[in-house]
A and B are shown apart, each in its own frame.
Chain A
């Protein structure tokens, strides 16, 4: 029997004794290469109970136990380093999506702080988040607002304190910093759109670039996403609702992050579940096409559109509310609306 080990191929007799050997060159790089790709024709793995270490010494590959340990360790480290350095484009997409979320969170906190801060000096400004940040970064104190700005009137009659000197410098600088965050955010979005169009054209065509990127990020890679069943894709991002459903009697979620796609978002509530199912099915087809062929195929989109049209035609009106709980006071809540329908759960 021929077996493969990290230091060479060995031939064993029926008693498991090494009778012949073909050793690899004793070079860390070569050995690391072999360690990663051990597959050679008609090779077996060592049988149970076979002592690899003793065989290495017996064949004269290494002189001692210590040398065995040292060499194997060096080779393994080299091999592991090689294996982790191979980054793929979808890994870049994942990092970008995560960075986007981090920026959103941070920019939100900071812009809220700025709103509080700037409110001392110009409480009537009536802006918030990005518009406010851009405004403060541009003008600073309200005395700098030009006469043709639509906030000029409010600025001159404001009850806020004067913003001057060091305070103005500080507040304005703070706003400028947040501006760079917003700029960075839009650059990342541009990158995502571009990168998704080259790595996953079909997914972009069906789900849109940003939702597609988010799906890839949540699945942990394009290939992993391609292996998900469409029922999983339908509810990715609705984890809490899903586990609530599995644990207790909560209704199952109809859609996860694919809800953000306008074709679901803009649909009336009684069609959303059906459309989500159709969309998820086509998304999973699209991703598989991206991973395994890489070519854009318009027919998925055409089929999806046709399916959605037929859903819309078959369900033009909201379903009638079942009235099982007649005369059971307290059970029927709300006015003429069925419980637990519509909306993202």
Chain B
């Protein structure tokens, strides 16, 4: 068994010929959602399943993930915290602002925040960044997985308020939540065009790839703000 760091805080574990993603467990011996824990040379890793996490799928698709050990991350659409927990592992010296709208999933997320010291839970609508602007500081990375029809607009308004000048946006676009009947490829093209042109904040898309076979009809996007 061997662990190789593929990006800051993200490891590829080779075990019996198979490769798996993993992060170093911030809270040793605790499994968050039933994922496997593996100890290698005194260090405990949590296996990270790309089928359950858009971010993990993006790592496997060779995105140059800009999250570092001391990054400040604004996480929109935190849900019950599956991916958030891994981001929290990665930014062991940083902080994650986890925004979630649903009360039901917030219940699970709070349980996670209770045991992890670097997550700030925020029950709010990502459409209205002004409702949490008094809490969140400027961040290095915005990660967004909200499955809303206006998701590119949500990314833009949040980047305008919170993203540092040289910060990055990581975005997962779900074609089916924008238009259930249209061809996903067309939807993706249109969303990328919107990100580049339509809003106050104009993005420069650095990388975009479909997240097949892990997530159907999803496009992973990494972008930066274009400054004129």
Contact = CB atoms under 8 A, between A and B. Distances in A.
B110 interface: yes
Contacts of B119: 73
Contacts of A77: 110, 113-114, 121
A333 B117 CA distance: 68
Interface string B185-222: 00000000000000000000000000000000000000
Given A49-B138, A73-B117, A246-B180, A81 B110 contact: yes
B113 A83 contact: no
B98 to A, nearest CB: 9
Interface string B145-160: 0000000000000001
Contacts of A46: 133-134
A211 B149 CA distance: 30
Interface in B114-169: 114, 117-123, 130, 133-138, 160-161
Interface in A73-107: 73, 76-77, 79-81, 83-84
Contacts of A81: 110
B181 interface: yes
A243 interface: yes
A48 interface: yes
Given A51-B138, A246-B181, A80 B133 contact: no
Nearest to A7: B134
B2 to A, nearest CB: 34
Interface residues on A, range: 20 to 34
A317 interface: no
Given A48-B161, A81-B110, A243-B180, A76 B134 contact: no
B107 A84 contact: yes
B106 interface: yes
Contacts of A4: 134
Nearest to B117: A73
A4 B132 CA distance: 11
A101 to B, nearest CB: 18
Given A38-B134, A52-B134, 20 more contacts: A48-B161, A49-B138, A53-B137, A69-B118, A70-B117, A73-B117, A73-B119, A76-B113, A76-B121, A76-B122, A77-B114, A77-B121, A80-B113, A80-B122, A81-B110, A83-B106, A83-B123, A84-B106, A84-B107, A84-B123
**Closest 4 pairs (CB-CB, A-B):** A45-B133, A80-B121, A84-B103, A76-B120
Interface of B: 95, 103, 106-107, 109-110, 113-114, 117-123, 130, 133-138, 160-161, 180-181
17 contacts: A6-B134, A45-B133, A46-B133, A50-B138, A52-B136, A53-B137, A69-B95, A69-B118, A73-B118, A76-B121, A77-B113, A79-B123, A80-B109, A80-B123, A81-B110, A84-B106, A84-B123
